[in-house]
């Protein structure tokens, strides 16, 4: 079942989303060569808890940290730890907060120091693909319109869309109906209605779209070891169009 939120409920959800966005912004400020992924995670947790919110990834399905931090060929669900970020890495951070009964969820890929033009191209295309997807999230459109927009944008630039993981509804639960794939057919899937809140999150690979999960049971990596990027916003469908809720 897809939840439809009232105007008041959307208003209440804004706080969780704002805190989520501030946590992501903090991660971006911290990322530099020499810092460990564990240190970034600790600062994120400290910040979220300082607002009175809870890191909603912590303990979710047994996940052991407050943020997923995925480096280079890691696509999503990287577990923060002793890994040291190096010059030229691209670092994807996915983080959310639970506050006042609602969840926020957002992600971005950051550059550590100077990165290759190839990696910069991937970052730029993935960020822009997210906005292509958001622009397609108009009331009356269908979920397939979002995926089709993301897919067309990135494939035209020679990148590939991860198939095995998708975006999702988000609200009182971190993951709700509907699934929001980053690929698809225009005009297919559930209709988008005012009051729906969804997380659009393209995971875009430089090479093949195939991925696999490491022995830690969490970290998703590209099958060919080439880099991957990930950008995500929580948005609300409104009668005026899509509204990005995860704004700092
Ligand atoms: Mg998400």
To which residue do tokens 């109906």 refer?
177
pLDDT band at 140 (very low <50, low <70, confident <90, very high): very high
- How far does the centroid of ligand 1 lie from the alpha carbon of residue 234, in Å? 8
Give the CB-side neighbour count of residue 18, counting CA atoms within 13 A. 10
- How far does the centroid of ligand 1 lie from the alpha carbon of residue 192, in Å? 18
Domain boundaries, the chain: 7-244
Q: Which residues, including other chains, have CB under 8 Å from residue 101's CB and lie 6 or more apart? A: 12, 172
- How far does the centroid of ligand 1 lie from the alpha carbon of residue 167, in Å? 6
3-state secondary structure of 70: strand
Q: What is the pLDDT of residues 1-20, one digit of tens each?
A: 999 999 999 999 999 999 99
- How far does the centroid of ligand 1 lie from the alpha carbon of residue 146, in Å? 15
> CA-CA-CA-CA torsion for 163, 170, 42, 91, nearest 10 degrees?
30
Q: Which two tokens stand for residue 231?
A: 């950008």
Which pTM does this prediction carry?
A: 0.98
- How far does the centroid of ligand 1 lie from the alpha carbon of residue 170, in Å? 8
pLDDT band at 60 (very low <50, low <70, confident <90, very high): very high
Percent of the chain scoring above 90 in pLDDT: 100
pLDDT band at 33 (very low <50, low <70, confident <90, very high): very high
pLDDT of residue 141: 98
Domain 7-244 has CATH 3.30.450.30: no
pLDDT of residue 21: 98
Q: What is the pLDDT of residues 214-246, one digit of tens each?
A: 999 999 999 999 999 999 999 999 999 999 999
For residues 208-227, b (16+ Cβ closer than 10 Å) or e, as one string? ebebeeeeeebbbbbeeebb
Averaged pLDDT score across all residues of the chain:
98
Q: Which residues, including other chains, have CB under 8 Å from residue 247's CB and lie 6 or more apart? A: 17, 18, 21
pLDDT of residue 45: 98
Q: Give me the long-range contacts of 58-66 (CB less than 8 A, separation at least 24).
A: 60/174, 63/218, 65/41, 66/41, 66/95
212 phi, psi to nearest 5 deg: -145, 165
């Amino acid at each position: 079942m897809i939840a439809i939120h009232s105007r008041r409920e959307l208003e209440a959800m804004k706080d969780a989303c704002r805190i989520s966005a501030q946590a992501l912004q903090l991660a971006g400020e911290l990322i530099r060569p020499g810092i460990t992924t564990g240190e970034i995670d600790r600062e994120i947790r400290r910040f979220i808890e300082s607002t009175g919110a809870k890191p909603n990834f912590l303990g979710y399905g047994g996940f052991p940290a407050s943020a997923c931090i995925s480096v280079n060929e890691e696509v999503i669900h990287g577990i923060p730890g002793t890994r040291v970020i190096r010059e030229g890495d691209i670092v994807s951070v996915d983080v959310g907060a639970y506050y006042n009964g609602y969840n926020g969820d957002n992600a971005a890929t950051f550059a550590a120091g100077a990165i290759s033009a190839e990696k910069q191209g991937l970052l730029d295309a993935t960020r822009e693909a997210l906005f292509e997807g958001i622009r397609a999230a108009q009331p009356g459109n269908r979920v397939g319109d979002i995926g089709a927009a993301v897919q067309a944008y990135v494939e035209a630039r020679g990148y590939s869309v991860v198939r095995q993981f998708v975006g999702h509804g988000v609200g009182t639960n971190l993951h709700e109906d509907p699934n929001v794939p980053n690929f698809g057919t225009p005009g297919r899937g559930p209709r988008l209605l005012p009051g729906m809140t969804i997380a659009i999150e393209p995971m875009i690979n430089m090479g093949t779209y195939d991925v696999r999960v490491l022995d830690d049971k969490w970290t998703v990596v590209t099958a060919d070891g080439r880099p991957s990027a990930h950008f995500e916003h929580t948005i609300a469908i409104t009668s005026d169009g899509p509204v990005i809720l995860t704004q700092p």
